[in-house]
Amino acid sequence: MRMKCRRNFYRIDFLLSAIYTPQLDISQMDEWDWHDCLIANLSLGGASIITKEERKSGEQLWLEFNLDTNNILCNMLVCHVEKLKTETSHSYKLGVQFSNILENDKNIIARYVAKYQMKEMRSKGANQA
């Protein structure tokens, strides 16, 4: 089965530290084993994250990160896995799609992305003048 991720949203490219876990039973959240990752880009529909651990398409993950002073915890569906190879290590770039996110958290992401997009548009406008 092949998963498809839609790209209907503006994406911002940046590097943001985050943590993720493949555990799904939220009632046992205190016992979850969290892994470090980096968010490489973010949109209202999902993100690209870079991990050291290999994951599989179709897998569900919990992702936790901070935007400004807001803590976001959301459930994600892994849609794409790409192996990244360097001379010293291996890592994986995951294309993930939000599958369960609180409306408030979605609004926080929307404001953050819009603020970033406005900065970018102003910067391009100043460069064209």
Q: Provide the percentage of residues in the chain whose pLDDT is more than 90.
A: 61
DSSP assignments along 35-81, one per residue = EEEEEEEE-SSEEEEEESS---TT-EEEEEEEETTEEEEEEEEEEEE
Q: For residue 7, is pLDDT > 60?
A: no
What CATH code is assigned to 12-128?
2.40.10.220
Report d(CA 54, CA 83) in Å as an integer: 8
**Which tens digits make up the pLDDT trace of 9-30?**
788 898 999 999 998 788 888 8
- Per-chain mean pLDDT for the chain: 87
**Which tens digits make up the pLDDT trace of 50-82?**
999 999 999 999 999 999 899 999 999 999 999
pTM of this structure: 0.83
pLDDT for 23: 82
Domain ranges, ordered by start, for the chain:
12-128
**Nearest residue to 35 (alpha-carbon basis) of 52, 47, 48, 49:** 52
Question: What are the counts of helices (DSSP H) followed by strands (DSSP E) for the chain?
Answer: 1, 6
